[in-house]
A and B are shown apart, each in its own frame.
Chain A
Amino acid sequence: MKSVLTELPVEWDYAGDDDGLDAGSVSYIKFLGRKLFQEYEPNQFQVFEDRLVDWLNNLDSESDQKLLLALLVELFFVGRREFEALYRSVYGGILSQWIVDQDQLNLFDPDIDGHIRASLNSCWLCPITDSLRINSFLKVNGLKSMEHRPDWKSLVKFGDVKKIKSYMAENKIKKIVLLEDFVGSGTQVQEALDYVEKSLKDFNVLICPLVVCPKGDELVSKKVEKLVNVDYKPGLLIPNEAMFQRGTNSPNPELYEKFWQLFSRLQGRLGISKTEAMLGFKKTGAQVVMYSNCPNNTLTLFHRETDDWKPLFARVNRV
């Protein structure tokens, strides 16, 4: 019998153990829907719960729908306020520590906060891609920085090294801080690092992504090892256990095996030939969505849109 939902069934909230849904999952999702998921910008004019019902209705059977909902319970959604907290946290922690080390500041100096702020303002604080909202970052932390704060993805593509260096000299920039909101596989950071390696070896650089997946962390760490002028310090490293994994490494092997079987049945509808590709870009298996967009490293059935599949967090892709 085909199950077509018009709303989230309250009775699922206390369904049997076999469904993989913990008691209270529906109310938990409803609560997060109102408080958090509703912030998702690409769908800001749609009610989250309506999208959720559409997403669940991609599937015909009630047990599959429950399984999909159980997958949503596992999701880590980083909302606007969480990002603002991360902005503050990396400023007060990683960035400040880096400045103290770089400038060899005296920690017992009563004006230490002022020195850190002044020193950071003299750095070139730039985003690696335009998804990190540098203006918000500076405002939240009361920083000024340089007048121009280009994203390095564009800079690498269109920038003229001479012009860049002359801008840095004019503004007496000695240090560069590169920020990024999310690093999945690490590809985009790698491009920025290649540029630093090739053209900006004389400057001290800090790479500080706010949220990093283990794969990206491994790649960036390895790359940075060879670069003496570059430090890498992530704001929040997602633990391996929070990535989609099968088998004994999974937090719930039985449930995750059921997810995997579901992926295998759905891959065709999502235009995917191998089940592994359901784990997102470079098989990262992230279960992360940000309020601003859904990373392509996240499980495909959250964000991929096809004629036969409505996503829950439709992703805004670059052309």
Chain B
Amino acid sequence: MKSNPFFELYVGDRFSSREFVTIFSNYLVPHALPIFIPGNVVVTGIQGSGKSMLLGLLQPRVRREYDIVGQEFPVPENRRKFLSASVNIAHKSAIDFGLRKHIDENPEEVELLFADFLNYLIVEDFLDSLSFIAKGPTSIRTEVGLHTGDNALNNIAPTISALPIWEGWLGDCRTFESLQKRIQERVRLYRRYLHRKDHELDFSIRDTRTHIGHPIRDCILSLKAEGIVDDDTSMFVDIDQYEELGNISTRDTPGKHVDYRSVINRALAARDGAVSYRIGARGHAWRRHGRIQGTTAKLEEERDYKYVDLDALLKRKENQTIDIFPDFAKDVFARRLKFAGFRDGLSDETDPLETIYGPQLSATERVKRLNIRQPENILKLDTKWKAETKAALKALAKKDLLSAKLGEIWIRQKGDDFDLNVPTRELPWEAKSYWRKERREAAALQIASQSHQRPYWCGAQEIIGLSGGNILVFLSLNQFIWDTWIQYAGDESENRTSLPKIAEIVQSIGILKASNFWIDKMAQETGRSSERLRFVKLVAEKLASNLFSDDKLSNPGHTGFSLIEQEVGEYPEILHFLEELADYGNMLMLDHTTKNRDRRHRKKFYFHPVFCPHFRIPYIRTKEPYYAKVSEVASWIYDAGYRVKFARESSLDQQSLFDT
């Protein structure tokens, strides 16, 4: 082991194809099969849900690496007949349209130019991928249905360059290389213009603009007509980081807003059988922008595209038998260790996560780890209580402080009317398993707080739980734990090949550091990041303070809040802000089956579990969340610095929420 196996968090973007093969967990593939089936597909998920990794399987270089190392390509055999082109919006200068200040003087024109730029980027990558496959082994060529080797590539150039779609701009390309160069030249001219090296875009480019999606469609159709590509070969165009298009700078001139996303939406709306698009995006960023360029129509799910929601797939399920995240995380964990050089203890039968981190500590054990010297002093015993009650609780505290604390809470709630002179398991709060279960986490945190100590966070299941269904958070937790362990273990950490056992205290330190890191990281994200950070801090501190000052612990579930769907829907700005929090993974937004008699549909919001150690609130969701009013949430948002007048959507007089 040379260094921290979790040092690199973002594998999708930065790992080489070879490293991809070792590190990619194919665990999600069966759950995301539409990606490899013809038809448009939108893959949504927050940062770290594994979108880029999954879409990476479309790249020929990755496929080739599987072949080189002799590993089975994770895509099912009957779904491997595809060619692809891929554009990462963030990496390919597509977002540089914002560098031109006069860009929204004529939004329609800019949208058309953006479409043309994107078209050439797609074809550029398609040619690159075609040439890569043509130069590769026959087995892959046969698998994708490409009937040309490296030598015959030049025959393709005249066919493609003669297509009417280019309106002669490409000229007559005799060789494949000259075709590639000509396409690259157009991309280069765009970049020169975007980066303000050229004052004006060449007129010949404006004059030969192409409609979104048409060039790649014509290219693939012509290759099929010539018999170069099999008729039943699918053509996938992968456009990743779609949401970045929403961040392109614009002057926000009223009525003159360039809608870059509508350009891509138009490609999907064409429902072109020859080309299928794969769009990688964040959840609500996708849903809110269905407008199609040049029309008033909107995209429709199932008709225009299929939807693979990785967040929904990976969101921790209350029913553990259908929760796929733990196995996914364990697979990723084992791959990382293998990649880092660990050899022993990584067989299929073992669970390295549990070997290294041990099982999760129960709340009772966590309290014991605090090593409180005089546990009876932690109890807050009412002077009016019976002497026997106080004596019994004090005596119990010495053996099991958590149980004694729960006893204190029980008596506060139910009154001092119980005979506590019974065996421990027959104590009233011990006998009520649900009552106990709902309060033990919060009570354990109260104890840590009252003894001025940091609570323990450790164990394999806890690390999975704190990840909240996000593989990036899972890797980050591991990264911080291993960094701390390396500090402890010193040289030993550099030489060993067998799995270490990482002490609970080391895990707790690492987890707390990771939690602090994720809080700070919020401010570096895009969108209204500083408002989101302030909102999370403000609300979490408010809820934590209420939870710790609640001696009766009547509301142990108040670690999140719930809103009536219809009410929040009337205030689009509030809804969008909350959706943005969910899109960026700052909060979990879940359907809430209410216990209220009115049975109105509600949404509940919880902080991402990784924030919980920082705020010292339980991440395990139990009982009912705090039932908030929309006006209350609006005031939190306002206090977080988001200065927008919250107005009802349907109201004609646009009355402010704060005036009601």
B490 and A23 contacting across the interface, CB-CB below 8 Å: no
A34 and B490 contacting across the interface, CB-CB below 8 Å: yes
A13 and B509 contacting across the interface, CB-CB below 8 Å: yes
| Bound-state Cα–Cα, A318 to B505, Å | 45
Partner of A27, one of B451, B456, B509: B509
Which residues does chain B contribute within 8 Å of A14, judged by CB atoms?
454, 456, 505, 508-509, 512
Given A27-B487, A27-B488, check contact A13 B505 (CB 8 Å).
Answer: yes
| Bound-state Cα–Cα, A30 to B485, Å | 11
B488 and A30 contacting across the interface, CB-CB below 8 Å: yes
- Which residue of chain B has the shortest Cβ distance to A16 in the bound complex? B452
Given A27-B487, A34-B490, check contact A17 B452 (CB 8 Å).
Answer: yes
Which residues does chain B contribute within 8 Å of A167, judged by CB atoms?
none
- Does B315 make an interface contact (CB < 8 A)? no
- Which residue of chain B has the shortest Cβ distance to A18 in the bound complex? B452
- Does A105 make an interface contact (CB < 8 A)? no
A31 and B509 contacting across the interface, CB-CB below 8 Å: no
A23 and B508 contacting across the interface, CB-CB below 8 Å: yes
| Bound-state Cα–Cα, A220 to B612, Å | 50
Given A27-B488, A31-B490, check contact A15 B506 (CB 8 Å).
Answer: no
B453 and A16 contacting across the interface, CB-CB below 8 Å: yes
- Does B484 make an interface contact (CB < 8 A)? yes
Which residues does chain A contribute within 8 Å of B456, judged by CB atoms?
14
Chain A: minimal CB distance from B90 (Å): 33
A24 and B453 contacting across the interface, CB-CB below 8 Å: no
Given A30-B487, A34-B490, check contact A11 B505 (CB 8 Å).
Answer: yes
Which residues does chain A contribute within 8 Å of B512, judged by CB atoms?
14, 23-24
Which residues does chain B contribute within 8 Å of A27, judged by CB atoms?
484, 487-488, 506, 509
A15 and B484 contacting across the interface, CB-CB below 8 Å: no
Partner of B505, one of A10, A17, A31, A34: A10
Which residues does chain A contribute within 8 Å of B452, judged by CB atoms?
16-18
A-contacting residues, B470-491, CB 8 Å: 484, 486-488, 490
| Bound-state Cα–Cα, A28 to B452, Å | 22
Partner of A15, one of B453, B490, B513: B453
A-contacting residues, B448-477, CB 8 Å: 451-454, 456
- Which residue of chain A has the shortest Cβ distance to B507 in the bound complex? A14
Count residues on chain A whose CB falls below 8 Å from chain B CBs.
Answer: 15
Contact flags (1/0) for A5-42 with B, using CB distance below 8 Å?
Answer: 00000110111111000011001101100100000000
| Bound-state Cα–Cα, A276 to B488, Å | 37
Chain A: minimal CB distance from B223 (Å): 49
Which residues does chain A contribute within 8 Å of B453, judged by CB atoms?
15-16
Contact flags (1/0) for B356-375 with A, using CB distance below 8 Å?
Answer: 00000000000000010000
Contact flags (1/0) for A32-73 with B, using CB distance below 8 Å?
Answer: 001000000000000000000000000000000000000000
- Which residue of chain B has the shortest Cβ distance to A34 in the bound complex? B490
Which residues does chain B contribute within 8 Å of A11, judged by CB atoms?
371, 505
B454 and A24 contacting across the interface, CB-CB below 8 Å: no
| Bound-state Cα–Cα, A31 to B483, Å | 11
| Bound-state Cα–Cα, A30 to B486, Å | 11
Chain B: minimal CB distance from A67 (Å): 15
- Which residue of chain A has the shortest Cβ distance to B506 in the bound complex? A27
Given A14-B508, A18-B452, A31-B487, check contact A24 B513 (CB 8 Å).
Answer: yes
- Which residue of chain A has the shortest Cβ distance to B457 in the bound complex? A14
Chain A: minimal CB distance from B576 (Å): 36
Chain B: minimal CB distance from A68 (Å): 19
B506 and A16 contacting across the interface, CB-CB below 8 Å: no
Residue among A10, A15, A16, A24 facing the most chain B CB atoms (10 A cut-off): A24
| Bound-state Cα–Cα, A31 to B506, Å | 13
| Bound-state Cα–Cα, A155 to B490, Å | 46
Chain A: minimal CB distance from B499 (Å): 20
| Bound-state Cα–Cα, A31 to B494, Å | 14
B509 and A17 contacting across the interface, CB-CB below 8 Å: no
B371 and A24 contacting across the interface, CB-CB below 8 Å: no
B454 and A16 contacting across the interface, CB-CB below 8 Å: yes
| Bound-state Cα–Cα, A14 to B453, Å | 8
| Bound-state Cα–Cα, A31 to B510, Å | 15
Which residues does chain A contribute within 8 Å of B486, judged by CB atoms?
31
B509 and A23 contacting across the interface, CB-CB below 8 Å: yes
Chain B: minimal CB distance from A248 (Å): 22
Which residues does chain B contribute within 8 Å of A18, judged by CB atoms?
452
Chain A: minimal CB distance from B490 (Å): 5
Q: List 22 A-B contacts (CB under 8 A).
A: A11-B371, A13-B509, A14-B505, A14-B512, A15-B454, A16-B451, A16-B454, A17-B452, A17-B454, A18-B452, A23-B454, A23-B512, A24-B484, A24-B487, A24-B509, A24-B510, A24-B512, A24-B513, A28-B487, A31-B486, A31-B487, A31-B490
Question: What 8 A-B pairs have minimum CB-CB distances, sorted nearest first?
Answer: A31-B487, A16-B452, A27-B487, A24-B509, A16-B453, A23-B509, A23-B512, A27-B488
